[in-house]
Homo-oligomer: A and B are copies of this chain.
Amino acid sequence: MQTDTYTVRGYEADATGRLTLPTLMNWMQESANRNALDYGIGMADLTAHGLGWMLMRFRLTVHRYPAYGETCTVSTYPTRVEKYFIYRDFKVVSASGELLAEAASTWVTFAVERRAMVPLPDFIRRLHPPAVADPLPALPSKPDFSPPETPAQVHRRAIGWYDLDVNQHTNNVSYVQALLESMPEEFLRQKHLYELDLFFKAESHLYDQLVVHTWLTDGVGLHRLVQGADGRDVLWARSVWH
């Protein structure tokens, strides 16, 4: 189990003074990376086998967004290992022990040269998840939603230099930021993004032109990010706003 503390910095808060969801996800990914390193299954360990990690599913629930200066503890740990999938949970608690957020995630390995998903290699399958009292249910590999094909509100977003990670792919969190920035201002300013369910379909690269399609009904958003050049799906998402 990996446990890290993070204190909300000024630039990690949004115009309402609360931690941004992209920063919360970045904290979680950072702790996940550190935990993977400890297990000997970090990015470099996979690269040595011609493999890479890909986040496939991520479902986040946020009970309260902490304010500037609050210190939070992020815990993360693998919960299950299967032939193709490894599952990881996250919990974020406040200094007083209040549960702020929790997330379930599903990760796969891919062969870097073939860009194809492969079964988890033995050195990952041998991993023994720690015993935890309350693992979240495994996310279904296909989500229980799909964005419609009908015309939608459309925003455009180019992938820039600071969206890239060290593997030259777009950081998963950049997609989420693009998705959220395409929401109407009153949602961002006045509503609480309670749940976000993500299904990553493909990677993207520097200077790719992405198109964000958004359908909003009764406080629920459905989102489809596609490559502008060929219409290929990059991310499906569902957001619930209170």
Contacts and interface: CB of A to CB of B under 8 A. Distances in A.
Q: Indicate how many identical chains form the complex.
A: 2
A172 to B, nearest CB: 10
Interface string A146-184: 000000000000001110111010010100010011010
Interface stretch (A8-16, A78-86, A111-119): A8-16
Interface in A77-111: none
A183 B160 CA distance: 10
Given A11-B29, A11-B171, A181 B164 contact: no
Contact of A9 (B14, B26, B164): B26
A22 B68 CA distance: 19
Interface of A: 9-11, 13-17, 20, 22, 26, 29-30, 33, 68, 160-162, 164-166, 168, 171, 173, 177, 180-181, 183, 185, 188, 206
